[in-house]
A and B are shown apart, each in its own frame.
Chain A
Amino acid sequence: MALDIAKYRRRRLRSTITVALCWAASALGLTILGVILATLLYKGIAGFGPKVFTEMTPPPGSDGGLLNAIAGSLVMTIAGVIVGTPIGILAGTYLAEYGRYSKVSSVIRFINDILLSAPSIVTGLFVYELLVRPMGHFSAFAGAAALAVLVIPTVVRTTENMLLLVPNQLREASSALGLPQSLVIRKVAYKAARAGMITGVLLAVARVSGETAPLLFTALNNQFWSTNLNAPMASLPVVIFQYALSPYEDWQRLAWTGALLITAAVLTLSIAARWLSSSRTQQ
């Protein structure tokens, strides 16, 4: 009996160690997030001021802001989302409504999931081959196209998931009233799944607004104010990349400020998206 108690103590001890390690792992995860955010705040605040939003990116050694980069990011993100969202929503609709059980759908679902995690730099190469090389120059169009390619899989996934949550009775009831299927989808299923679908679009915006790799050789960069979609355009992530790796201190300071801005925007968006979907599911 005494032996058993010793064994039991040993089991308890090993379990306690495992539990402690799990606590430590979680603490580590939270610490990483905390340290990253703290560094961003500490270094980013230093260069913060109204100038950031009112002046162009400067040449090294002089004062300036990030206005053209912020504007470029907004323009290309919005354009990419406007192009990518309808395609994503329609494809998601097919997967959830028309072709829910078809073979082709499972193939498309599978491919879409792969595109969702595929390296974004490959998207940049793809758009380079497709648009930049034939056009002969870098352009904001190409940048927006690359972002659209990243938007599509995200929106497809969330649209399908959200439509699958809509109870079938709703569809059956409206079909019984004689509504054609397209109206059932657009007037009933879309309405029921709206919050979730908006969440998906917000998550897609959050994802692409921080993307750098696909813009590097599609939209390139531009030191000046430009609204010409057919010309190279600055974007916040690419400017951060360029400035952070430069040897000039004032550029590096601007890079940190840009990093702070973009992180704040992306995290706000993803928290908003989460809040929207959770307030919806609680109803």
Chain B
Amino acid sequence: MAFLADANSQATAAAAARRKVLEGLRTTDVFFRGLTVSSAYFVLILLGAIFASLVVGGYLAFATFGFRFLTTEVWNPVTEQFGALAPIYGTIVTSLIAMLVAVPISIGIAVFLTELCPMGLRRPIGIAIELLAGVPSIIYGIWGLFFFAPVIQRYVQPELIAAFKNVPVLNQLFAGPPYGIGILTSALILAMMVLPFITAVCRDVFETVPPVLKEAAYGMGWTTREVVRNVVIPYTRVGIIGGVMLGLGRALGETMAVTFVIGNAHRISGSILAPGTTISATIANEFTEAVGDVYTSSLIALGLILFFITFIVLALARLMLMRIEKKAGA
């Protein structure tokens, strides 16, 4: 009997121990799940907090200048008059020129990597292009200032000025002394920086084209150019646009490279050879030296405008890329 009772108590002890372990596991389960959920929500909160902090910081500027802040060009720290038009103009113009240059080249590289390149070279060349994306932006800045801008000043800008001297409209666009630094140089540096991003997206979406489609087209006797133009690009159009928008989002927000070569001049010039400024360059150059609440607040308001523009561009890019992902998955 004593033996049985002993076994019994042993069994209950074991059951109790087991219950305790299970309960412990349940607690860690709930705890771990809670941790992951709150971290995930933290990402949302982060975005909200960034928006909120910029709104709070920029409120004074909007309250002081109202809607005029967006439409005036004057930027005078002495009289504390600030308008965001020149930086907004510079941001948009440099990014658009960068896109004009980078998009065709990126699509060319992506076509090369997916259609033309010998198999053995695909990976190394692909990685080299991706490394271009890994180079920190300050490196593009210092390289742009000491190497690229002098080259542009000596060899490119005089040619442009001379070539378009007698052409109406274009002689306004390429007017003025060859400074080296300026809108055009910044745009070209930006083009180099966004090139790998657009290339990567284009290459990925080109690879979603079903081989059957291409093989059928080649089988009908189409040339490489016709296959790319009439099969690959139409099939992946949405994805390409998504990639371009992604690149545009990068170009709009790029800071350090542009800060080095834009010239930081708060004016809107008709010539793309002239120095200008962008939103991010203005903030980087002036924020630590800004004296007075209105000045600081104006710079933060600029940041808000930048965040707003890039948010919309990047959101559109993502929506388009999501569409092509669905297509590839279906």
- Cβ of B179 under 8 Å from chain A: no
- Cβ of B155 under 8 Å from chain A: no
Quick one: given A26-B113, A114-B318, A213-B284, are A125 and B53 in contact (CB under 8 Å)?
yes
- The digit string for A116-145, where 1 denotes a CB below 8 A from any CB of B, is 011111110110111000000000000000
Residues of B within 8 A of A173 (CB): none
Whole-angstrom distance between the Cβ of B164 and the nearest chain A Cβ: 24
Within 8 A of B (CB), among A21-38: 21-26, 28-30, 32-33, 35-36
- Cβ of B40 under 8 Å from chain A: yes
Contact of B143 (CB < 8 Å), options: A23, A36, A129: A36
Query: Most chain-B CB neighbours within 10 Å: which of A17, A183, A185, A217?
Result: A217
- Cβ of A72 under 8 Å from chain B: no
Residues of B within 8 A of A181 (CB): 29, 33
Please measure, in the bound complex, the distance between the C-alpha atom of A180 and the C-alpha atom of B31, giving whole angstroms.
Answer: 12
Instruction: Give the segment of A60-68, A192-200, A223-231, A237-245 that binds chain B.
Output: A237-245
- Cβ of A270 under 8 Å from chain B: yes
Please measure, in the bound complex, the distance between the C-alpha atom of A113 and the C-alpha atom of B137, giving whole angstroms.
Answer: 20
Instruction: Name which residue of chain A comes closest to B132, CB basis.
Output: A33
Size category of the binding interface on chain A = 35 or more
Please measure, in the bound complex, the distance between the C-alpha atom of A259 and the C-alpha atom of B146, giving whole angstroms.
Answer: 13
- Cβ of B67 under 8 Å from chain A: no
Instruction: Name which residue of chain A comes closest to B306, CB basis.
Output: A119
Pair A105/B40 contact, Cβ less than 8 Å: yes
Contact of A112 (CB < 8 Å), options: B43, B57, B113: B43
- Cβ of B157 under 8 Å from chain A: no
Pair A125/B136 contact, Cβ less than 8 Å: no
Pair A125/B283 contact, Cβ less than 8 Å: yes
Pair B49/A240 contact, Cβ less than 8 Å: no
Pair A87/B39 contact, Cβ less than 8 Å: yes
Instruction: Give the segment of A45-53, A92-100, A164-172 that binds chain B.
Output: A92-100
Instruction: Name which residue of chain A comes closest to B26, CB basis.
Output: A180
Residues of B within 8 A of A274 (CB): 127, 130
Query: Can you offer 29 A-B residue contacts whose CB atoms are under 8 A?
Result: A11-B223, A19-B225, A22-B108, A26-B117, A29-B105, A33-B135, A36-B140, A98-B37, A108-B40, A108-B43, A114-B47, A114-B311, A115-B47, A118-B314, A119-B252, A119-B254, A120-B253, A121-B255, A122-B50, A122-B303, A125-B300, A210-B135, A210-B136, A213-B256, A213-B280, A217-B288, A263-B135, A263-B136, A266-B135
Closest CB pairs A-B (n = 4): A210-B136, A119-B253, A25-B108, A15-B223
